[in-house]
Amino acid sequence: MRDATDFLRAAGFGAARIDPLPADASFRTYARLTGGPAPALLMDAPPPEDVRPFLAVQRHIAGIGLSAPSILAADEANGFLLLEDFGNATHAALLDAGEDALPLYLEAAETLAALHAAPPPAHLPAWGAARMAETTAATFLDWWWPATFGTPADAATHAELAAAITTMVTPFTTAGCFVHRDYFPANLMRLAARPSPRRTGLIDFQDAAHGSPAYDLVSLVEDARRDVAPGIRAAAITRYLDARGDLDREDFAAAMAACAAQRHLRVAALWVRLDRRDSKPHYLVHGPRCWRLLAAALEHPATRPLRDFLDARVPPALRRNPVAVTEPA
């Protein structure tokens, strides 16, 4: 974490104790501040990170009556934010501690339905076919492919993957709503004193975009980092759809399958990039789960374009972490 002394002093937190928090998969780092005017978190977002999208999305979430950390102070030019401290009770931490999963997933589904029902801000970028194809190639073809085959993917492979992703997701991304893009338990906070849907606090939302509402629900119930029991998955989907009576359930199931296939392929390869580029091999443990979830998504007819691409280019035996990569024990 960079030196934030001047920023903290100007914000009235010069005497606060700084306790760094564990890093995640991004370049941002966080620290908990104690002994200041109020409980707070310091966000340090050095380039290439940019705090302005975070601030814009925070204003939107708070403006529609949901829970996002209040901004106590901001230095946009230098990438420092001082945030309201929601505490340690992420849904992930609660699940790891043995908390009953069903209430957490139902609360998260209710909050997600409220988030999606509100008109999205116009400034958000598109999480549509072009961007989804681009980000898939950036992990699967740029990192997983050479790690598996020993050579870069050629231009024809790039074109075929782009066409497959575009054809698969375009029917479901034309009418965009607010999409968090990383709506899973590690980014959700239990705020027990608040009524639903404010009981679930939202964090790590700076990559929000316009896209398919199915994408966020997939992120929640087909989590890349933890197994979700089938009954919990079904209950959360039902709670979400009950709150969103405007959605056709058959069409939404197809949208979930298409979004799941894109997300799981991209994230399965993201773990390889984190290992090779960022020296974070511990994320590889999630690779087998992502490949299993991808296989399940490819059973839906809506995912046929991607299934055909993979059947032509990647034999089932290779749909895993690259053999040259050692998975942590």
Please tell me whether residues 186 and 275 are part of one structural domain: yes
| CATH at 29 | 3.30.200.20
Name the domain boundary from 55, 84, 113. 84
Residues 162 and 29 in one domain: no
The angle subtended at Cα 140 by Cα 51 and Cα 270, nearest 5°, is 45
Same domain, 63 and 102: no
Per the structure block, which two tokens stand in for 137? 């190639």
Distance CA 101, CA 108 (A): 11
Residue of 164, 173, 171 lying closest to 304 (CA atoms): 164
Q: Which of 84, 111, 143 is the last residue of a domain?
A: 84
Domain end among 45, 67, 84: 84
- 321 Cβ contact list (under 8 Å, min separation 6): 271, 272, 284, 287, 288, 327
Domain count, the chain: 2
Residues 41 and 120 in one domain: no
Quick check: 20 and 33 in contact, CB under 8 A?
no
Write down the pLDDT at residue 25.
58
Same domain, 39 and 185: no
Distance CA 40, CA 51 (A): 17
Same domain flag for 309 and 256 = yes
In three-state secondary structure terms, 212 is coil
Tell me, yes or no, whether 173 and 248 share the same domain.
yes
Q: What is the pLDDT along the chain (329 residues), one digit of tens a residue?
A: 789 999 999 999 999 999 998 876 567 899 999 999 999 999 999 888 899 999 999 999 999 999 999 999 999 999 999 999 999 999 999 999 999 999 999 999 999 999 999 999 988 999 999 999 999 999 999 999 999 999 999 999 999 999 999 999 999 987 789 999 999 999 999 999 999 999 999 999 999 999 999 999 999 999 999 999 999 999 999 999 999 998 999 999 999 999 999 999 999 999 999 999 999 999 999 999 999 999 999 999 999 999 999 999 999 999 999 986 444 44
Q: Token digits for 153?
A: 């993917």
Q: Are 194 and 84 in contact (CB under 8 A)?
A: no
So what's the pLDDT on residue 290? Answer: 98
pTM of the model: 0.92
Angle in degrees, CA 247, 114, 51, rounded to 5: 120
Residue 20 domain-assigned (yes or no): yes
List the domain range (segments joined by +) for residue 171: 91-318
